Structure 1
Amino acid sequence: MTAGLEGMFPGLAPEILDAVRQTVEVHALPAGALIMAAGDETTSLYLIDSGRITVFRDIGSEGGERVLATLSAGAILGEMALLDGQPRSASARAETDCRLTEIDPAKILALPNGDQVLGALRGCLAVAVTNRMRTQTDKYVAAVEREMAAIRERQHFGQFFIYALGMMTIGLLINDVISKQILKVDVFTPTFAWVYLLIILIPTSVIIWRMKIPLRDLGITAVGMKRSLVEGAGLSVLIVAVAFAAAWVLRVTGLHAGTPVPAEWGPTTGYFFHSVLQELVARGLLQSSFQRFLDDRRGIQSVVLSSTLFGVFHIHFGFMAVIVTILSGLLFGAVYLRHRNLAGVTLLHFFAGGAAFWSGLL
């Protein structure tokens, strides 16, 4: 008990502590015992020496209750009534066998210097209560902030879900209605590719703005750029070598006689920037958003989903184009997962696509 008083009221002078010790009473309570009830006009303060106590309020007419707090050894109970003299605002029950030290203000007032002792005790207790309230306020504010963040996350997920549906609708409309029935254009021209990409970029830009996604979350950052570029360049060399070797084998065996397309400055530069924008949509937005909203820690689901969705955007080029886009997207997504930087994966995208044309595979 002595250590309990000194630990609970470290600011009290020794003579005040000695006076309080003369009035305390120790209680051993079995589990289930009611310590106080809401509305009681008692004003004793209890120090919990051992055990666990539940503070609660009765609610409704069906006998239910709402738990307000669970207190363990080292905590105090009933401090508000001692401070303001008002009836108990809640009930308390022993959840386990407990040992309590009771401080009764009436017994303190019976001492020769009772007013002084009780005043000092209330002052020290008020500091302790204020500190506890400050801690509880900080916890409450943190909980509110977490809830608000969760609400914003749900709103962002709804916006992203609508965006994904809209993107699929755009792909299907362009494939089945605009390109084939209305405009009847050649979807394999660079002009169509650029127009289609720019159409996709309009809702993409809107969703990035609405969701306030920072550039670093889109992979546009200097962090990891060097490693990303080195890995992207190494894989690009490998992909280009494989593409030219495969094209040579297909021509020699007569299985495929595609005509190589020279790497001219204008079209090649245009395709590079086209690759940048495609990766911004596919990896920067789609893959990153899927991983965030699905809490996909490993990122595998996100890579598959973003690659599949982006493959659907290419349905107007034919079924084989969708398959190739999905497979290449799996590779690009895996590379992006390693560094969260668009630099290397964009380089790989550019050389992989370019090699298919330069070698004559496409």
Structure 2
Amino acid sequence: MTSPLASVPPAPSSEAPAASPRDALDKILPGLSPAMADAVRQAMVVRHVAAGATIMTEGDRTDSLYLIEDGNVTVFRALGIDGGERILATLPAGAILGEMALLDGQPRSASVRAATDCRLTEIAPAKVLALPNGEQVLAAIRSSLAVAVTNRMRTQTDKYVAAVEREMAAIKERQHFGRFFIYALGLMTIGLLVNDILSKQILDVDIFTPTFAWVYLLIIMIPTSLVIWRMKIPLRDLGITTIGMKRSIVEGAILSAATVAVAFAAAWVLRTTGIHAGTPVPAEWGPTTGYFFHSVLQELVARGLLQSSFQRFLDDRRGLQSVVLSSTLFGVFHIHFGFMAVVVTILSGLLFGAVYLRHRNLAGVTLLHFFAGGAAFWSGLL
């Protein structure tokens, strides 16, 4: 405790020789020389104070120093003539009282009472001065106490700075959430505009062409790039990192192989039964390469930014809510392709999101996205 405290005329208490004086002195005044420590112990007294008794009173010019050996005390200030008070602190065993008054000689600036029955070790300057070398001993006490107080003040300052930094980080986090919320609304607006106005009423374009898919994605990338820049999101937080890359690629490759096999098997069954006679699309170099980079950008938006941001702002430790939200939101972006496209995008997004949760790396999930989407076309499933 570094706040100045005060003492009052003797409270209901009993006085006895100090118990375990070496331990008590080491707590109050660490670093004293053996000779000075022996001298101080001659002036130490243990006081037993009943619960509710006043130990110090604000404004008194007393200068005893106390160590709380057992019990708790309440530090408070009177608020005025109405008898109210403001609680400043509750100090447990091991804390010291009255250090500032002993150092600067000023009146006590707060009152202290025993919250429970207490045992206090007291060092009274008057008793110290009564020793043969009292002046030297008192000077040594003040020197040691100043070091202890300075160390405590430094610790308190560090805690205060840390608290301020946490508050500033919280404010910054709220600002980032606001930007992300506006971004999410903006993406939904873009999806609706492209679906109802741009593609149908103004341009009347074929939305199933690769050109439209690229234009649509690049439009989405404009606010995406802006929010990443404004929020100063590190690339590693977007899944662009070497951490976990190897495991991510291996797992993505295994799942990709399984997905391709399932897609071709399903397409064969549908053609054989006559349910769906889709035409396989050959995996040509140009369109295939373009689709790969298209998959990279889609995963950057859906998993790297949307899913990661939802998990961060919602404090979604398991990540399940974030997977559902990001998959649903990204599915809405495909509403211009029809209801089934939205459903397929959401379901595949759940799988991609679960894979991304395992490694926080875009490599494997991008690979899976590319082969899953490509297989659907190469097999004639779509």
Q: What residue in structure 2 maps to residue 268 of structure 1?
A: 288
One-letter amino acid matched to 1:256:
H
- Given the alignment of the two structures, is residue 90 of structure 1 paired with residue 110 of structure 2, yes or no? yes
Deviation, structure 1 residue 62: 6.1
Q: What residue in structure 1 maps to residue 344 of structure 2?
A: 324
SS in 2 for 1:273: helix
Q: What residue in structure 2 maps to residue 238 of structure 1?
A: 258
- Given the alignment of the two structures, is residue 288 of structure 1 paired with residue 344 of structure 2, yes or no? no
Q: Which runs of 5+ in 2 are unaligned?
A: 1-17
C-alpha separation in 2, matches of 1:202 and 1:58:
60
Q: Tell me how large the CA RMSD over aligned residues is.
A: 1.5
Deviation, structure 1 residue 59: 4.4
Is the alpha carbon distance of 1:339 and 1:98 closer, same or farther for their aligned partners in structure 2, counting shifts above 3 Å?
A: same
Instruction: Answer yes or no: is the 8 Å Cα contact 2:30–2:148 preserved in 1.
Output: no
Please point out which of 155, 159, 162 is paired with 2:175. Answer: 155
Between 279-288 and 23-32, the greater mean CA deviation after superposition = 23-32
Deviation, structure 1 residue 310: 0.4
TM-score normalised by L of structure 2: 0.91
Deviations 1:253-303 (A, max 9, x none): 111111111111111110000000000000000001111111111110010
Deviation, structure 1 residue 61: 7.1
One-letter amino acid matched to 2:306:
L
C-alpha separation in 2, matches of 1:92 and 1:171:
66
Q: What residue in structure 2 maps to residue 127 of structure 1?
A: 147
SS in 1 for 2:122: strand
SS in 1 for 2:61: coil
Q: What residue in structure 1 maps to residue 297 of structure 2?
A: 277
SS in 2 for 1:220: coil
Deviations 1:200-224 (A, max 9, x none): 0011001111111111110001111
TM-score normalised by L of structure 1: 0.96
Identity %: 82
C-alpha separation in 2, matches of 1:198 and 1:64:
66
Deviation, structure 1 residue 10: 3.0
Q: What residue in structure 1 maps to residue 95 of structure 2?
A: 75
C-alpha separation in 1, matches of 2:235 and 2:71:
53
One-letter amino acid matched to 1:177:
I
Q: What residue in structure 1 maps to residue 6 of structure 2?
A: none
Deviation, structure 1 residue 58: 3.8
Between 35-44 and 166-175, the greater mean CA deviation after superposition = 35-44
Please point out which of 100, 109, 116 is paired with 2:129. Answer: 109
Q: Which runs of 5+ in 1 are unaligned?
A: none
Deviations 1:157-200 (A, max 9, x none): 11111111111111111111111111111111111110110010
SS in 1 for 2:132: coil
- Given the alignment of the two structures, is residue 184 of structure 1 paired with residue 204 of structure 2, yes or no? yes
- Given the alignment of the two structures, is residue 249 of structure 1 paired with residue 289 of structure 2, yes or no? no
Q: What residue in structure 1 maps to residue 190 of structure 2?
A: 170
Is the alpha carbon distance of 1:54 and 1:225 closer, same or farther for their aligned partners in structure 2, counting shifts above 3 Å?
A: same
Deviation, structure 1 residue 342: 0.4
Deviation, structure 1 residue 91: 2.0
Number of equivalences:
362
Please point out which of 222, 225, 230 is paired with 1:205. Answer: 225
